[in-house]
Structure 1
Amino acid sequence: MTQREVTSTDNTTWTCVQTYSSLAKEDAERAAEITAGDNDEVTVVCTPSGGAQTVRLQLTRDWMETVSDEELVKQIETAQV
Structure 2
Amino acid sequence: MQQREVTDTHNTTWACVQAYTGVDSTVAAEAAERSETTGGAVPVVCTPTGGAQTVRLELGKDWFENLSDEELTAAIEAAQ
Aligned 1:1-81 pairs, distance under 5 A: 1-24=1-24, 28-80=28-80
Between the two proteins, the alignment pairs up a number of residues equal to: 80
In structure 1, list runs of 5 or more residues that go unmatched: none
Tell me the TM-score normalised to structure 2 length. 0.91
Instruction: Give distance in 2, aligned partners of 1:25 and 1:71.
Output: 31
Offset at 1:73? 0.2
CA distance in 2, matches of 1:28, 1:44: 15
How far apart are 1:14 and its partner, in Å? Answer: 0.2
Once the 2 structures are TM-superposed, how far is the Cα of residue 27 of structure 1 from its aligned partner? 5.3
Partners of 1:58 and 1:65 lie apart in 2 by: 15
CA distance in 2 between counterparts of 1:25 and 1:57 reads 23
Q: CA RMSD in A?
A: 1.5
Give the Å deviation of 1:34: 1.1
Q: Provide the rounded CA distance (Å) in 2 between the counterparts of 1:12 and 1:70.
A: 13
**Cα 1:32–1:75 shift into 2, 3 Å:** same
Percent identity between the aligned chains? Answer: 57
CA 79–24 in structure 1, closer or farther in 2 if over 3 Å, else same:
same
